[in-house]
Amino acid sequence: MPQTGPIILRVAVPTPLRRTFDYIFPENLLKELDGDLPLPGSRVAIEFGRRTLVALIIEVTDSSDIALEKIKPINDILDSSPILSPDLLKLFVWAANYYQYPIGEALFTALPALLRKGEATELPTVKHWRVSELGLSAETESLDRAPRQKALLQFLKDKTSAVPESDLTGLFSATIRNQVEAKGLIESFLAQHEPQPSSDELLQQENLTLDPQQQVAMDAIELHGFSCNLIEGVTGSGKTEIYLQAIEKVLRYNRQALVLIPEISLTPQTEKRFTDRFNTPIVTLHSGMTDKQRLEAWIKAKTGEAKIILGTRSAIFTGFDDLGLIILDEEHDSSYKQQDGFKYSARDLAVIRAQREDIPVILGSATPSLESLNNCIEGRYQHLTLTQRANNATAPSWRVIDLKTEATSCGIAQSTLDAIQQRLDAQQQVLVFLNRRGYAPALVCHSCGWSADCPKCDSKLTFHRARGRLICHHCDYQQRKPHHCPSCNSKDIMTAGEGTEQSEEFLAKRFPNNEVIRIDRDSTRRKGAMQEFFATADSGKPCILLGTQMLAKGHHFENVTLVVILDADSGLMSADFRSHERIGQLLIQVAGRSGRGKLKGEVIVQTHQPEHPVLDQLFNQGYRPLALQLLQQRQQGMLPPCRPLAVIRAESTYPNQAMELLGLARKLCDQQRGTEPDIQCLGPLPALMEKRAGRFRFILQVTASQRAQLQRCLSAVATQLDKEKLAQKVRWSIDVDPQEL
Ligand code: ADP
Ligand code: ZN
Ligand code: ZN
C-alpha cells in the first residue's frame, strides 16, 4: 500500500454490534512506529461514542465507505508490534463469523482481561545478579578479610546462571551486595524474566516404554504438517503417555505444545504428570487465576518462553511464538463448548487452528463424541484405538443390580453394601457415584402431595440439610425449609430421594471405621478441600470416596477397586437428543476409575431399568457399539453430527415477546430459502426447561443439508434481527452446534 493516501484502520470494538469500525491513523503517530505502518492485531485507543476504548486493528487499508472527513482519528496506538499473529487474528475472525458473534466481543472476551484494558505485553523486569568478568578471574581469597562479601561472591560463582535479586535478599544485605559490586566483582542487570533451568536435558523423568498398541498409535501420528488424530483409548490405556511422548518430539524441534483439558482444578494429577516429565517451562491457563497471572502466562506463551501451555477451553485463543502441536484430552467433555456469550467449541476450533497453522492435533477420549467418531468414519480424522489398559491393569467387570427386585437403604442395595464392606475389609478404596448434590432432590407433603417447587423455574427445590435451606440448582433461589405444608398445613412433610449429603450421612453411619469423603460443588467450596480429598485418595488407605460427576474426570487412584453407580437412571429420561450419548460417556468414565492399579476392579451399577437399551448395550457390548447405534439414530433423525444444527434462543419475562421474536426469526429464515433452499426450521418451541430464573425460554431450530447454507442464512437473519425493536427487549442469541436444546 502506498503511504501517500490516508491510512484507514478497520478495528474491532468491544460492543454487541456485528461490524468493524473505520478510524484514521494520523500521520503524527507514525513516529511511534518508527515510520512503519500499523499492523493488524495491534491495539489502539479510540473515542467510541463518549467513551475511550481499547480496540484491535483487524485490517489496514486506504479506502472506506465513509467520507474521509467524517472518519475520526485514533487517539493512540498501544502496541509497537501486534499482540495477535495474522494466523490467530484470522482464527478469531473465522470463529466470530462461524458462531455468529460480534467480532469485538469475541476478541475481548477470549483474551486476558488486562489486554482488554490496554496493559503492556511485556513481562515486568526483575533485577538479577551475576559474577562479572573481573569476578570470574578473581580468587575469592582476595576477600578473606570480608567474609560476607566473600560468601556472596562464592554463592554467585557456584550458580550456573544469573540469580534474581529476590533469591539473595534473605542471605546477603544490600550493603554487602553494593560493596562487592563497587569492587567490580559482581554486577546487576534487569532481565524480563527469571533465567531458564540451565540443564539441557529436556526430560527429567524417563519415557515409559510404550506397549505395542501405544507404539502403533504413536507411529501413526504424523508430527509434521496438519493431521487430526482421534485416540479412542479405554480408561487407563495410556493416552497421556502418548501425549507426553508426542510433545517431547515437538519440543525437540524447538516448537511449543498446547494441551487442553476440561478442568484443571479437578485434575491436579494431570498437571503434575507434565511438570514431572519435562524440564522445561510449563504454564497453565485457567479461570482460577488472577488477571495478572493470566496475562503473564499469556505473554510467556507468546514470547516462546513457555514451551508447554496447559489450559482449559479459552486457552485455544493463546498466542504462541511457534506452536507445533495441539492436544485436547477428554474431547467428549461438554465443557469445551462455551454455553453463554461467545458460544465457541474449543474442540472444533482446535482442529481449525491446527489446519490453518499446518500442525497436528490429537484428540483423546475413552468415550469419543459422536461428532469425532463420525469424522473418523468419514475419513477426516485418523482413528487410533487402545483397547487394553497399560501397566498390566485389567478392565473392571460390571455387575448390574436391579433395584426393582432388591430392597434398599438410603438408595443403596444390601448386596452393594456387602460389596463395599468386602473391599474396605480388604484394605481397598471404594468410589460411590451419585450425580445429585444436596440432601434430597425434593420435599413433599405426605398428606396432600404438595412439593416444594422453585417459584422462578420449572424445577423442584433441593433440600440442603447442612444449610437448612431449600435451594434451586438452576437459578440459586433459596428459602427456609417450611415446618408445615404451605398447601394443607400438615406437619407431615418429608424428603424424597437422596443426594450426596444424605448418602454421606448414611455411609458414615454404616461404615463407622472408615472415612467417607464427599466431593461435590458444596463440599469443595471450602479452600483446601480438594487437596485434602486428593491426599486421602492418594494415600491408598481404605475409605469411601463419594461424589458427583466431579469424580468422573480423569482421576487415577491406584487403590480404588470398586466403583458404585448408585443411580444409573438419572439422565435416561431427558428429552435432549444428546442425553443418551452423555449418560453412556459419564457411566464409562466413572467406571474407569476402578481397578487402575495392580488389583482388578469391579463396577456395580444400580438401576430400575436394566433392560433399557442404552444401559443394556453399554454393559454388554461397551461404548463403541452404543455410540455407533446412537449415530445411526442421529442419521435417521437428521440430527448432528449428521446434519448441521443451530438454535436461535430467546428468553423474556413475557413469554409472548420471546415467541414473537422467534416467529419473526422463522419468517426471516423462510425468506432465505429463496437463495438457500435447504434451510429447514423447527419451532419456535419451548426450551427443555421452559421457565428458568423467572424468564420464559424458547428456541428455534435451524438446519440445512449444507453447512455453508446454514451459515449464510444465520448471518442474514442475525443482521436483520439486530434492526428489530423487539430484539432490544428480548434476550436472544444464536447457538451454532448447540450442546443442549
Ligand atoms: P489414560 O490417559 O488413557 O487414562 P494413563 O496415561 O493415565 O491412561 O495411564 C494409566 C496408567 O498406566 C498410568 O499410571 C501410567 O503411568 C501407566 N502407563 C501408561 N503407559 C504405560 C506404559 N507404556 N508402560 C507402563 N505403564 C504405563
Ligand atoms: Zn400438604
Ligand atoms: Zn430456580
DSSP code, position 638: T
Does 475 share its domain with 577? Answer: no
pTM to 2 decimals? 0.88
Q: Ligand 2 being an ion, which residues bring their Cβ within 5 A of it?
A: 445, 447-448, 450, 485, 487-488, 490
Cα atoms found within 13 Å of the Cα of residue 128, Cβ hemisphere only? 18
Residue bearing the CA closest to ligand 1, atom 23: 210
Q: In angstroms, what is the span from residue 237 Cα to ligand 1's centroid?
A: 6
Residue 556 has pLDDT above 50, yes or no: yes
Residue 356: pLDDT band (50, 70, 90) is very high
Does 317 share its domain with 267? Answer: yes
Using CA atoms, how far residue 217 sits from 212, 242, 389, 669, in Å, is: 9, 8, 14, 45
Question: Is 741 contained in some domain?
Answer: no
pLDDT confidence of residue 486: 94
Ligand 1 site, residue 237, Cβ cutoff 6 A? yes
Does 370 share its domain with 512? Answer: no
Note whether 524 and 530 are within 8 A (CB): yes
Does 250 share its domain with 297? Answer: yes
User: Which residue, of 191, 210, 233, is where some domain finishes?
Assistant: 191
pLDDT confidence of residue 212: 94
Does 137 share its domain with 18? Answer: no
For 359-398, b where at least 16 C-beta lie within 10 A, e where not — what string? Answer: bbbbbbbbbbbbbbbbbbeeeebbbbbbebbbeebebbeb
Question: Is 92 contained in some domain?
Answer: yes
Does 88 share its domain with 233? Answer: no
DSSP assignment of 112-141 equals -HHHHTT--SSPPPEEEEEE-HHHHHS-GG
Does 431 share its domain with 480? Answer: no
Question: Is 428 contained in some domain?
Answer: yes
Write the pLDDT tens digit of every residue in 13-48: 999 889 999 999 998 888 877 778 899 999 999 999
User: Which residue, of 391, 413, 429, is where some domain finishes?
Assistant: 391
Question: Is 713 contained in some domain?
Answer: yes
Virtual CA dihedral for 32, 34, 36, 42, nearest 10 degrees?
A: -40
What CATH number corresponds to the domain at position 578? 3.40.50.300
Judged by DSSP in three states, 479 sits in strand
Question: Is 640 contained in some domain?
Answer: no
Q: Which ligand is nearest to the CA of 491?
A: 2
Ligand 1 site, residue 642, Cβ cutoff 6 A? no
Residue 2: pLDDT band (50, 70, 90) is very low
Amino acid at 714: L
Residue bearing the CA closest to ligand 1, atom 20: 238
Write the pLDDT tens digit of every residue in 264-280: 777 677 888 999 999 98
Strand partners, 129: 163, 188
Atom from ligand 1 closest to the CA of residue 240: 6
Q: Which ligand is nearest to the CA of 490?
A: 2
Q: In angstroms, what is the span from residue 126 Cα to ligand 1's centroid?
A: 40
pLDDT confidence of residue 593: 87
Write the pLDDT tens digit of every residue in 426-435: 999 999 999 9
Ligand 1 site, residue 240, Cβ cutoff 6 A? yes
Judged by DSSP in three states, 703 sits in strand
Does 688 share its domain with 607? Answer: no
Q: Which ligand is nearest to the CA of 470?
A: 3
Question: Is 568 contained in some domain?
Answer: yes
Question: Is 121 contained in some domain?
Answer: no
pLDDT confidence of residue 712: 94
Q: What is the CB neighbour count within 10 angstroms for residue 290?
A: 10
Residue 570 has pLDDT above 70, yes or no: yes
Residue 575: pLDDT band (50, 70, 90) is confident
Does 668 share its domain with 719? Answer: yes
Q: In angstroms, what is the span from residue 236 Cα to ligand 1's centroid?
A: 6
Higher pLDDT among residues 310 and 393, named by residue? 310
Residue 11 has pLDDT above 60, yes or no: yes
Q: Give the chain's count of helices (H) and strands (E).
A: 22, 32
What CATH number corresponds to the domain at position 711? 3.30.70.600
Write the pLDDT tens digit of every residue in 624-643: 999 999 999 999 999 999 99
Q: In angstroms, what is the span from residue 105 Cα to ligand 3's centroid?
A: 29
Best probe residue, ligand 1, of 241, 271, 556 (max atoms within 8 Å of C-beta) = 241
Best probe residue, ligand 1, of 219, 232, 240 (max atoms within 8 Å of C-beta) = 240
Q: Which ligand is nearest to the CA of 445?
A: 2
Q: What percent of the chain has pLDDT over 90?
A: 66
Residue bearing the CA closest to ligand 1, atom 26: 391
Ligand 1 site, residue 218, Cβ cutoff 6 A? no
Residue 365 has pLDDT above 90, yes or no: yes
User: Average per-residue pLDDT in the chain?
Assistant: 91
Question: Is 638 contained in some domain?
Answer: no
User: Which residue, of 191, 215, 242, is where some domain finishes?
Assistant: 191
Q: In angstroms, what is the span from residue 389 Cα to ligand 1's centroid?
A: 7
Does 400 share its domain with 363? Answer: no
Q: Ligand 3 being an ion, which residues bring their Cβ within 5 A of it?
A: 454, 456-457, 472, 474-475, 477
Q: In angstroms, what is the span from residue 492 Cα to ligand 2's centroid?
A: 7
Ligand 1 site, residue 211, Cβ cutoff 6 A? yes
Residue 199 has pLDDT above 70, yes or no: no
Q: In angstroms, what is the span from residue 560 Cα to ligand 1's centroid?
A: 16
Minimum mean pLDDT among 96-100, 340-344, 387-391: which range? 387-391
The CA distance from 177 to 372, in Å, is 60
Judged by DSSP in three states, 268 sits in helix
Residue bearing the CA closest to ligand 1, atom 6: 238
Ligand 1 site, residue 592, Cβ cutoff 6 A? no
Residue 3: pLDDT band (50, 70, 90) is low
Read off the pLDDT of each residue in 365-386 and give the average, rounded to a whole number: 96
Q: Which domain holds residue 551?
A: 393-437+498-633
pLDDT confidence of residue 574: 81
Ligand 1 site, residue 210, Cβ cutoff 6 A? yes
Does 335 share its domain with 481? Answer: no
H helices present in 457-540, as ranges: 500-510, 529-539
Does 361 share its domain with 226? Answer: yes
Q: In angstroms, what is the span from residue 212 Cα to ligand 3's centroid?
A: 52
Q: Which ligand is nearest to the CA of 387?
A: 1
Number of domains in the chain: 6
